């Protein structure tokens, strides 16, 4: 039997009517001849409520109990989905992570898959069950405790099952109808993409296009799982939504596929640090230890120090999320107090945003950066930091120009046009 994985996110199973609607979509695939593994999230809002209860009960909570509690939302939806399917005469049963079992590492609240054992579910399929409903977001640690995979982790469960069971496709049903060239709330000209390459999706996901958990895209890319993002609130067919797939499957080739942004960025500059071997390691080592997600890094050309003409100095600039600025400052101050680094001042700019253009076409086209910069200059947007990778160019700009910059770049690369 060909097999499909169908994942329903929180808003798609938010109440009994929606669960019924999702079950109908499952039934239709059964009628088309598929066996189906359904992965469910908790009803929308449920996980937040459970996290709130944990934090209210115990501020420095035991992570194992956090996982035991927070994973329970998915158990409820898995059972309800199985019951709903049974009511529609579809033979189905629910599976919690430990029953499969889904083995993970012991890193509670951000566990990673180690293996998914197929035998139990395979046996049920051969007994005539058509659907295995699996609770997303959870697994079993080597110690036999319940683990969770990090917020949004059900996407990753769905991809992992698709790889383990060699599913024909992994359909992610959600509250949007696909992946767009940019955020439709920012540009009215945003267009839904029919297809997008894994690598592009990975950049967009990590830049805050929150439709898919980043890790699920990494896993899909590694195991070449074809992912489809589509709406659970519309009538859908084989062509609905956006297919996230290998770049070889993509015909329409644009230089740039999307414009992404990240609103809450901060730019920090260490003014006058010594320019010597090991200085970058001495700065970014403590930041890494403090768990700071450093993104862009710029080191200025070095110059000789005014006071002592034999010593070279430089400025070091980096960006990180605004929520981590206080922690970054503390880590740097401690490194200075311990004598590992020396600097005059730490200049913080908390009002910047990052805007990026992403596209695999950049590998084979020149002039993308020039086109991007001239579009920004035409709008009088000043660029503070630039960074590039093989398929992405990012700029840091004043936050108040973020929407304007996204719109200007969407226009400049004609992303509203199909090809």
Cβ neighbours of residue 57 under 8 Å, at least 6 residues apart? none
Dist CA 192 CA 290 (whole Å): 39
Cβ 322 to ligand ASP shortest distance, Å: 22
Contact (CB, 8 A) for 172 and 230? yes
> Of the candidates 73, 139, 152, 178, which one interacts with Mg ion according to CB under 5 A?
152
Total residues at interface with Mg ion (CB under 5 A): 2
Would you count residue 42 as binding ligand ASP (CB under 6 A)? Answer: yes
Would you count residue 8 as binding ligand ASP (CB under 6 A)? Answer: no
Determine how many CB atoms are found less than 10 A away from the CB of residue 40.
Answer: 33
Contact (CB, 8 A) for 177 and 240? yes
Written as six digits, the tokens of 100 are 């499969």
Would you count residue 73 as binding Mg ion (CB under 5 A)? Answer: no
Would you count residue 286 as binding ligand ASP (CB under 6 A)? Answer: no
By beta-carbon proximity to ligand ASP, the closer residue of 41 and 96 is 41
By beta-carbon proximity to Mg ion, the closer residue of 155 and 275 is 155
Total residues at interface with ligand ASP (CB under 6 A): 13
End-to-end CA distance of the chain: 38
By beta-carbon proximity to ligand ASP, the closer residue of 149 and 296 is 149
- Partner interacting with residue 73 (select from Mg ion, ligand ASP, none; CB below 5-8 Å by kind): ligand ASP
By beta-carbon proximity to ligand ASP, the closer residue of 154 and 187 is 154
Written as six digits, the tokens of 280 are 């970058």
Would you count residue 137 as binding ligand ASP (CB under 6 A)? Answer: yes
Dist CA 345 CA 64 (whole Å): 42
Instruction: Give the start-end residues of each E strand in 76-221.
Output: 92-95, 102-104, 113-116, 131-135, 138-140, 146-148, 169-174, 195-197
> Of the candidates 78, 103, 136, 331, which one interacts with ligand ASP according to CB under 6 A?
136
Q: Which of residues 321-380 bind Mg ion (CB under 5 A)?
A: none
Dist CA 64 CA 145 (whole Å): 7
Cβ 303 to ligand ASP shortest distance, Å: 49
Q: Which of residues 61-120 bind ligand ASP (CB under 6 A)?
A: 73
Contact (CB, 8 A) for 397 and 383? yes
Query: Residue 86 burial (CB < 10 Å; 0-12/13-18/19+)?
Result: middle
What residue is closest to Mg ion based on CB?
152
Residues in the site for ligand ASP, rule: CB under 6 A? 9-10, 41-42, 47, 73, 136-137, 151-155
Residues in the site for Mg ion, rule: CB under 5 A? 9, 152
């Amino acid at each position: 039997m060909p097999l499909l994985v169908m994942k329903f996110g929180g808003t798609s199973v938010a109440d009994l009517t929606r669960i019924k609607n999702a079950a109908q979509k499952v039934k239709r695939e059964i009628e088309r001849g598929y066996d189906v593994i359904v992965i469910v999230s908790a009803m929308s809002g449920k996980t937040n409520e459970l996290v709130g209860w944990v934090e209210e009960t115990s501020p420095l909570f035991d992570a194992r109990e956090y996982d035991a509690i927070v994973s329970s939302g998915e158990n409820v939806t898995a059972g309800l989905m199985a019951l709903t399917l049974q009511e529609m005469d579809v033979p189905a049963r629910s599976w919690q992570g430990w029953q499969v079992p889904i083995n993970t590492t012991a890193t509670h609240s951000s566990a990673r898959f180690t293996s998914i054992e197929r035998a139990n579910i395979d046996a049920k399929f051969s007994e005539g069950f058509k659907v295995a409903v699996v609770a997303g977001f959870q697994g079993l640690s080597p110690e036999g405790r319940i683990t969770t995979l990090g917020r949004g982790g059900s996407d990753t469960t769905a991809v992992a099952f698709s790889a383990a069971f060699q599913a024909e496709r992994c359909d992610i049903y959600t509250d949007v109808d696909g992946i767009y060239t940019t955020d439709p709330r920012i540009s009215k000209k945003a267009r839904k993409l029919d297809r997008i390459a894994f690598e592009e999706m990975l950049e967009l996901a990590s830049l805050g296009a929150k439709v898919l958990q980043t890790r699920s895209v990494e896993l899909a890319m590694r195991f070449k799982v074809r992912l489809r993002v589509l709406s659970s609130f519309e009538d859908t067919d084989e062509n609905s939504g956006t297919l996230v797939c290998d770049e070889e499957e993509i015909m329409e080739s644009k230089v740039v596929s999307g414009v992404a942004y990240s609103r809450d960025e901060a730019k920090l500059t260490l003014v006058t640090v010594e320019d010597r071997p090991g200085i970058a390691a001495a700065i970014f080592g403590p930041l890494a230890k403090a768990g700071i997600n450093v993104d862009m890094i710029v080191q200025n050309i070095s110059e000789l120090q005014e006071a002592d003409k034999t010593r070279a100095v430089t400025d070091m600039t980096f960006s990180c999320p605004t929520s981590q600025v206080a922690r970054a400052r503390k880590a740097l101050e401690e490194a200075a107090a311990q004598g590992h680094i020396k600097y005059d001042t730490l200049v913080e700019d908390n009002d910047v945003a990052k805007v990026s253009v992403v596209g695999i076409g950049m590998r084979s086209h020149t002039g993308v950066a020039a086109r991007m910069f001239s579009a920004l200059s035409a709008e009088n947007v000043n660029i503070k930091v630039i960074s590039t990778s093989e398929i992405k160019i990012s700029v840091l700009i004043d936050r108040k120009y973020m929407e304007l910059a996204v719109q200007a770049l969407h226009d400049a690369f004609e992303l509203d046009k199909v090809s």
